[in-house]
Structure 1
């Protein structure tokens, strides 16, 4: 049971990391587009 909990936690952390990265990336793209 403990190992499955850890795996779920890893998935959530990975998802949060990817989501944060995408939001930051999108924000950067918007700034670049405004500058052009």
Structure 2
């Protein structure tokens, strides 16, 4: 039971990290467009 919950938390954390890096990439692209 505890292991299953830890696995869920780890999966959620990875999803959040992926979402965060995607957002940062979008922000970087947007900033580049503004500079041009």
RMSD: 0.8
- 1:3-14 alignment to 2 at 5 Å? 3-14=3-14
Aligned match of 2:17? 17
Which consecutive residues of structure 1, in runs of 5 or more, have no partner in the other structure? Answer: none
1:33 Cα shift?
2.1
Q: Could you state the TM-score of these two structures normalised by the residue count of structure 1?
A: 0.84
Aligned residues: 36
Which structure 1 residue ranges, 4+ long, deviate > 4 Å from structure 2? none
1:32 Cα shift?
1.2
